[in-house]
């Protein structure tokens, strides 16, 4: 597995933030994800839940599907997923099943986060797979994008 430095994590997270901004332009919750394997992006995704009316259309799920298609295998061993928001239990489960070795996320999700905030699905002694987790990369940028989105949403409904 490739060892990444903080600067690498920041660069890849910036690409995930670009994906989150694509979601924002579609008036989706601004979450973005990229999957990196051997130093290149093999999958990208941003939330499309509202656009597709699909509760599984999370950024991570779409990025994982794209990555699997790129490598022509569901086993994404030695890959890293960069996500602007801590994965939920569905996405954390998919990350485990895809054999992604590392999750790097920006903002924690105290409501649905399944990588240590609300639950910790990825570090479970009952499972035979584990995922390394790196938290807080570009946290202020990732959190700010989400906070601004929900603030504008609340202002529209007032």
Question: CB-side exposure of 26: number of CA atoms within 13 Å?
Answer: 18
Give the whole-angstrom CA distance, residue 131 versus residue 95: 8
Do the Cβ atoms of 79 and 89 come closer than 8 Å?
no
Nearest to 89 by CA among 42, 124, 48: 124
Do the Cβ atoms of 69 and 40 come closer than 8 Å?
no
What would the two tokens of residue 86 be?
């801590």
Give the whole-angstrom CA distance, residue 104 versus residue 5: 12
Give the whole-angstrom CA distance, residue 155 versus residue 71: 43
Q: Catalogue the active-site residues.
A: 60
Give the whole-angstrom CA distance, residue 88 versus residue 108: 10
């Amino acid at each position: 597995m490739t060892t990444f430095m903080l600067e690498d994590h920041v660069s890849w997270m910036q690409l995930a933030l670009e994906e989150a901004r694509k979601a924002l332009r579609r008036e989706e919750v601004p979450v973005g994800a990229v999957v990196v394997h051997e130093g290149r992006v093999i999958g990208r995704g941003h939330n499309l839940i509202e656009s597709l009316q699909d509760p599984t259309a999370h950024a991570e799920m779409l990025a994982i599907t794209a990555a699997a298609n790129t490598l022509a295998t569901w086993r994404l061993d030695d890959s890293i997923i960069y996500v602007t928001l801590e994965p939920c239990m569905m996405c954390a489960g998919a990350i485990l099943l895809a054999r992604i070795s590392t999750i790097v996320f920006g903002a924690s999700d105290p409501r649905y986060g399944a990588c240590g905030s609300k639950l910790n699905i990825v570090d479970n002694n009952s499972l035979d797979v584990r995922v390394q987790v790196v938290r807080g990369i570009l946290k202020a940028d990732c959190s700010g994008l989400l906070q601004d989105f929900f603030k504008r949403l609340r202002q529209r409904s007032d």
